[in-house]
């Protein structure tokens, strides 16, 4: 599947399991993303995201978003949008 880099993980919270992501490209609810890193390989569909604790349907480059993830991710992991 083709992928395009859209950001980096800059924070992680264990409860709830949320990744903080700094975007370099837009993303919206329903997009499939792939988070990869040294020990991370996680693909998921964005079911919801927040900016400053407010739910949003889409976000743009430069935004810092929080999304629920199904497993641990790490600061510095790269976030890709699956485009295929």
Encode pLDDT of 5-48 as tens digits.
999 999 999 988 999 999 999 999 999 999 999 999 999 999 99
CATH T-level fold of 3-82: Elongation Factor Tu (Ef-tu); domain 3 (2.40.30)
Each domain of the chain, given as residue ranges in start order, spans 3-82
CA 48 to CA 6: how far, in whole Å? 17
Buried b (16+ CB within 10 A) or exposed e, 21-60: bbbbeebeeebebbbbbeebebebebeebbeeeeeeeebe
- How confident is the model over 48-68, as pLDDT tens digits? 999 999 999 999 999 999 999
């Amino acid at each position: 599947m083709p992928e395009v880099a859209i950001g980096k993980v800059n924070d992680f919270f264990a409860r709830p399991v949320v990744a903080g992501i700094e975007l370099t490209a837009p993303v919206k609810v329903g997009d499939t993303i792939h988070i990869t890193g040294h020990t991370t390989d996680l693909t998921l569909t964005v079911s919801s995201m927040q900016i400053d604790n407010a739910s949003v349907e889409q976000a743009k480059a430069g935004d810092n978003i929080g999304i629920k993830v199904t497993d641990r991710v790490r600061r510095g992991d790269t976030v890709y949008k699956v485009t295929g």
